[in-house]
Each structure stands twice: as structure tokens, then as C-alpha cells.
Amino acid sequence: MTATAAGDRDPGGREDGYEPDPRRWRALWVTLVAGFMSLLDVTIVAVALPTVQHDLGASPAQVQWVVSGYSLTFALALVTAGRLGDALDRRRIFLTALCGFVVFSAACGAAPGITWLVAARLAQGLAAGFMAPQNSALIQQLFRGAERGRAFGYFGATVGISSASGPLAGGLILALADGTQGWRWIFYVNVPIGVLAVLLGRRLLPRTRRTGRRHVDVPGVLLLGVGVLALMYPLVQAEAGGLGRLWWMFLVGAAVLAVFVRRQYRLVARGTGPLLDPRLFTTVRGYATGAGVGTLYFVGFSGVWLVFALFYQNGLGFSPLRSGLAVTPFALGSAGAAVVAGRLVDRYGRLLTVCGLAGVIGGLGGAALLLRLAPLDLAPWLAAPVLFLGGVGGGFVVSPNITMTLRDVPVRMAGAAGGALQTGQRLGAAVGTAALPGLFYMVLAGTDDYRDALVVSLGTALAGMLTSLVLACVDWRRDRRAHDPRRTCPEEVANSPVHSRQG
């Protein structure tokens, strides 16, 4: 029996009958390479926007859609893609989406004009959104116990490195591919890597045994899509005044999502498979809190890299490559710590997230103070080791949070749960990438001081991370109480509605 069959046969997601797939680690690396490409493309393009605008003769509003359009369609696809993976075949959806990602990457690189490029980026983001939830679902399917923690550690390292190293990778490609057409290689580089991943994935990824639960809530897909679109569209249009003109869309989005949630409860009551089972948030231990921790963390985490790029490139006159190198210590610290954290999460649990958030807050806060107070010629050098320590903290946030959030999710719900978790992260990232650069420009307009703008923007990011830390502390305390033998009821989790129902 393979891991696939065991995971699908066991409706509670428990380890009964589990037999490890001998190819599971090689399969994991295939999914991580694809996941790295899709997440890297969120930030790697930002450093090339001035070149793209000049080469294609685009307006600032048009070129902004090269970044924001990708994030928008990425977020729209996540939950639906996760549910389809649960209901049908994660392998097939992953490989199909990966093929689409490769094709649309090539289309982006070959774009003759801005309209073509934006359309290709929208399609590329959609393909990335269909890939992403299959990553965490396949980890749930293929691994158990301490191995699952290690696998999520590698996954967390991938998330952290790809997000933080985008500016460096973009700057390096632009430096190597000299000339006005060099930005095209930011997209072309995905093609050979993606083709290799497709070939290896066809050989290594396990098939999902279909269970007969193929119903997909199409009205729910539409409601969720409209709700997420209404929440994200003003954010992706922020630089064009979207927050002021389109504020009413937040109200529309909240109302539509409320209708979506009510529909999901009705489907559960009828015994029909919902698109996103609301009991994930109410009965699966740690899921709701972990989703909140991830969303709030990404508000600050995603936005700070744009702020650093504006400070280093516009304020200090750094090239895109040198600007990327200045924040590389954070990515290096995050990569190493995430792998270590994956090995420790079974032992220390949510405490790792608590310590990690404290480390990120201290590292980014310390870097902000050094960049504000130290002499400009020394400030980037002095900030580098502090950013490294912040990166170590970041490595102890993402992978343990993913592991702790998804640890009790039944395997049959793994795709939808992973999709919902990443949707929250994408929404948080959209808020951060819209709000923090906007705040940076607002302070700069009032003071004409890049240092003041940096400190205010990073301080706002840290406020979101502090809120995330409070949630993590609450979950850590709840975990300690749950594992206290004087308080624990052995049947409490096993008899929860999500775990006991046969679906």
C-alpha cells in the first residue's frame, strides 16, 4: 500500500495503515522547486519594472499590473485549486498547472507590448495558484510524524528564501543580461527549470486514489472568487488611487464572503462536500489561530522588501543588484533556520513560532534603527548582521506555523486547508505591499527624508508582526494546557466532528 492509498482511505487523517512511499523525498524536491519559482515571481519582477516600462513604453499604472495582476490571480485560485486536488488528483492538477506556468512564463518573456505582458502575467499567476496548495497537500499525504515536520521545514525555507531573495535574483539577472531586453530573462529562466520539474514530476509524484467525493461547489467557487477579488482589487490598485476610489469594495467583499461562509455551513449540514469546510476553523486545533498568525506576519514580511528596495535604490543610489545583496543576509538566515526548525517542531511546537516572531521583530527593528542613526556609508554594513538574526527568526516562523496549523487537518481536506492558509498569506502580502510603500512615499513627501520614511514604514510592519506574536502566544499557551495531563481528555480530538465524520 502506498502513502497515497493510506492517506485517502483514512478519513480522519490519522496514521493508521500508513506506509511511506520510497520516492517521497525526491517527489518533495520536485514540488519545492516548482513552489520556489511561483513564489519568487511575486517579488523578482519588482526590480525590473523601470526597465520594462521604458522598453515597452508603458504607463506607471500599466506596469504596476505586471506585479499586482500576478498576485491577484494567484490568490483567487488557491482555495478552489486545493479543493479540486482533494476531490480529483493532486498529481494531475500540479503537473497541468506547472506546464501552464512554464508556457505563460515564456509568453511573458516574449511579450511584444504591455497588454500582452499583463495578460500573460495574469495567466501565470492563475497557474501558480493552482500549483501552490498541492505542495502542502502532498506533504500531508506523503509524510507523517517527525518526517512531516522536516518536510514542512524545507517548505518553509522555500517560502522564506523565495520571498526574500526575489530582489537579489532579479538584480542578478538584470546585471548578467545587460541591455534593455534583459528583463525578459527574468521570465525565460523559468522555462528550462520548469520543463525539468515536469519530467521529474511525471515520474516521482504519487497519484491520489479517487474516493468518489468529486462534488465541487461551483456557486461557492464563484462567491469566494468575487469576495477575494473585491478585497484584493483596491489593494493592487493602491498606487493608482484605488484605496480612495474603491474603498466600498471592501464592504462588498466582506458581505459576499459572509454569504459564502453561510453557504458552506448549509452544505455541511446537508452532508454535501463544501468548497472550504468551516469546521477547519472551529474544530481543528490550531488552524484558525495559525491562519491568523500567517496572515498578519505576511502583512509586514512581504511589504518590507519593497520598502528596503526604495530606500537603498532611491535613497542611497544602489543598483538593483547591490540593493538585493543588502537584504540577502535575511534570506540566508531564514533558509538555514527553517530547515532546523522543521526538525525541532515536533519537540517544541508553537514555541518556535513565538521565538521566531520575537527574533524577526528584533532584527528588523534593529536594522531600522541602525539605518536611521548610523553614518550612511556604514549603515548597510552594520545592518547586515542584524538582518541575518532577523532572518533566523523568520525561519522559525513560517515552517513551524505551517506545520502547527496543518498538523491536525485530515488528509482528505489537506488541499483546501493549504489553499485557505495561503490565501490568507496572499491577502496579507497584498495589504503589506500596498500599504507600506504607500506610507513610505507619504512620509517622504512630508519630510523629504528617506531615513524617516524607512523607520515609519518598518515600524508599521512591526506592529502587524507584534499582533501576530500575540496570537502565537495565545496558541502556545493553549497547546501547553492541552498537553497538560491534568487537563487533557484523550477522546477530545479524536471525537471532533471533522475527524469522526466519514465525509
Report how far residue 161's alpha carbon sits from residue 141's, in angstroms, rounded to the nearest whole number: 24
**What pLDDT is attached to residue 17?**
57
With cut-offs at 50, 70 and 90, classify the pLDDT of residue 14: very low
Q: At 396, which amino acid appears?
A: F
Instruction: Residue 494: count other Cβ atoms within 10 Å of its Cβ.
Output: 11
Tell me the whole-structure pTM to 2 decimals: 0.77
Percentage of the chain beyond pLDDT 70 is: 88
Residue 163 grid cell: 520571498
Q: With cut-offs at 50, 70 and 90, classify the pLDDT of residue 485.
A: low
Alpha-carbon span 12 to 10, nearest angstrom: 6
What's the pLDDT at 486?
53
What DSSP assignment string belongs to 432-465? HHHHHHHHHHHHHHHH--HHHHHHHHHHHHHHHH
The CATH code of the domain at 25-207+275-500 is 1.20.1250.20
Q: What is the mean pLDDT of residues 492-501?
A: 46
Mean pLDDT of the chain: 81
Higher pLDDT, 101 or 324: 101
- From CA 89, how far away is CA 134, in angstroms rounded? 10
CA terminus-to-terminus distance, the chain: 22
Q: Is residue 208 over pLDDT 70? A: no
Please, are residues 77 and 130 in contact by the beta-carbon 8 Å criterion? yes
Is residue 345 predicted with pLDDT exceeding 50?
Answer: yes
Q: How confident is the model at residue 124 (pLDDT cuts 50, 70, 90)?
A: very high
Q: Which amino acid is at 262?
A: R
Residue ranges per structural domain of the chain = 25-207+275-500, 218-274
